[in-house]
Amino acid sequence: MGTGKIVYEGICEVVNGKAAFMRQSMEDAQVLRLIAERLKEKEFREKLGGYFVSDGGNGYGRAYSEEDCGKSGSMLTVEGLEYLFDEVFSEKIMHGLKETEDPAYKMYVLPMLMNGIKKRIDVTGFVIYGIICSRRCRQALWAEMPEGDDYYRYYEQSPYAGWALEECLKAEEIWDARLLAGLLEKMRKEEEGGPSYRLLMKIIYAGYGDLRKWMEGKNTVSGSDIKAKVFAAHSGEYSMLYCISEMALALVIAQDNETEIYPDYEMLLLLHFMEKGEAEMWEGNDGVNYYKADEEDAAENKKFLKKFMEKYGTASSLEALIFKKGTGRMDSLVLGVMAQYHISPRMFCGMDLTEEEVQNLLKLNDNWTSKSYWSVLVIAHLCKYIEDLKEKYLMHTAEAAGLHSV
């Protein structure tokens, strides 16, 4: 996978989905039997035979039948694997796409439909997120990087300053993430394998020593190998972003241990998920496909808002919604939940949503009910308050440490 360390350059890979899928499928006995049946056809056999090269050439898949292909020790080229895919699987795959509504199936076959497309993935966010999610990594970070101001300056001058990855983090994790971004930026300005790189790997190994131990003695590691290792440790509930980040760290560890990374079909699937994760880190919720209201929907939303105001007296104040008129079951539930965490809706006094914020809420849906808007209003107040607390925390900790807050 590439020629340089991905922690410096990111992942740059040409997606040959058909060839990768075919190469992986050749390990399946049923697929081999299917190909053996097709080899009885003279036209197919002769065409496929033209795609073989001798060992040592640009070959990627072993011959299925030396007797039929007549080339002992020969290998299929990428073009041969693609031809084989088109002949054996293409029709079945396209039929499956037309018949199914299963998003998992559509996701799985996606690399097959993107043949020859170049992918470039920046792994910075995955490295940072994977470290942040590990308590031992963060402890090593605090122990090894006590003086962080130099690293924070690297962060502030980097393209990662203020990026949306921070929306995925708890307030107390944000400075650590900025520290790591600064370390990565400094590392990339040094000679490859320099002191910052070794420091980064020391921090990674503090929390992912099991991945390093698993990698020992392996000459090659594939996407399938990494996926099986990571998901075996995360059975049940897990964060997909965390699993992807751990797989990215596995690639970093493989290269540090000089283990060759074999780009099989599972690796191409990983690249697709990494591409989506990278977009989220840069765009945040702005990258989500929201419902787009047209003029008719906007008019309906205006009518709904008027009715809601007439019934409850407010569409922007959680405190007023609960204490001035009350809404029976809904206000009872909210009060009950908040009481469990020693919170009163009165804490939101003076934090009414602005007119713009109310209009932005209405744009999220085209079929509002009193119950759904009530619920969203509660969530909006909580999010607004959390964001306010986070900003105050960052400002306070920055002032205490003599740092700049971004």
Check residue 59 and give its pLDDT. Answer: 47
Question: Averaged over 135-146, what is the pLDDT?
Answer: 91
Mean pLDDT of the chain: 85
As a whole number of angstroms, the distance between CA 392 and CA 312 comes to: 32
**Cβ(273)–Cβ(240) under 8 Å?**
yes
**Is 50 exceeded by the pLDDT of residue 132?**
yes
Pairwise CA distance, residues 129 & 244, whole Å:
10
Residue 252 has pLDDT above 90, yes or no: yes
What stretches of 17-79 adopt beta strand conformation (E)?
Answer: 52-54, 61-62, 74-76
Confidence (pTM): 0.83
CA–centroid distance for 283 within its chain: 12
More confident residue, 375 or 57: 375
Gap between the Cα atoms of 182 and 400, Å rounded:
20
Q: What is the pLDDT of residue 210?
A: 94
pLDDT surpasses 90 at 208: yes
The residue with greater pLDDT, 88 or 204, is 204
Percent of the chain with pLDDT over 90: 46
Q: Which residues are CB-neighbours of 279 under 8 A, at least 6 positions away?
A: 287
- pLDDT one-digit tens code per residue, 104-125: 888 888 888 888 888 899 999 9
Place of tokens 């076959």: 109
